[in-house]
Amino acid sequence: MTTKPHFKSDAFEAIHSAATGLHRAGVVTKRTLRDFDAMCLAAAPRLDAKAVVQIRKDAQVSQSVFAKYLNTSTSTVQKWESGAKQPSGMAARLLQVVKKHGLDVLA
């Protein structure tokens, strides 16, 4: 399953598309394309404890089952839900996908 990148705006999507075309043509280096990624792509969402709890409850699973789907520990889910830690990077993106498409998308 390939997901479409989340761009900051339609304008940034157009800029990134042009840079990707230039990369394919050999005019732009991989490093420059990574710079465009950093500039154009939206940051991973910030999810607070309440949001994580709601995503899990919407999925109607326990913390331990939720952790297994997300390939993390029950302790990590507990820390997210208590506010002791905040999901970041890939975990935040994965939670965003589960929020939008449900837990079945990971099955």
Nearest to 15 by CA among 3, 2, 28, 26: 28
- The torsion defined by the Cα of 92, 95, 99 and 105, in degrees rounded to 10, comes to 140
CB 98 within 8 A of CB 105: yes
* Cα 40 to Cα 31: distance, rounded to the nearest angstrom: 14
> What average pLDDT does this structure show over 21-28?
92
Domain contains 71:
yes
Count how many domains the chain has.
2
Domain contains 91:
yes
Span 61-73, pLDDT tens digits: 999 999 999 999 9
**Alpha-carbon dihedral sign for residues 65, 71, 74, 78:** negative
Task: With a cut of 90, say whether residue 79 has pLDDT above it.
Answer: yes
Could you give the percent of the chain with pLDDT greater than 90?
Answer: 56
Give the domain extent around 18: 10-40
Same domain as 57, residue 100:
yes
Same domain as 55, residue 90:
yes
> What average pLDDT does this structure show over 23-39?
89
Same domain as 68, residue 30:
no
Residues in the chain: 107
Same domain as 98, residue 70:
yes
Residue 3's pLDDT band (cuts 50, 70, 90): low
Domain contains 83:
yes
pTM greater than 0.75 (yes/no): no
Tokens of 46: 């910030």
Domain contains 3:
no
Task: With a cut of 50, say whether residue 1 has pLDDT above it.
Answer: no
Q: For residue 20, which phi and psi values (nearest 5 degrees)? A: -65, -40
Task: With a cut of 60, say whether residue 90 has pLDDT above it.
Answer: yes
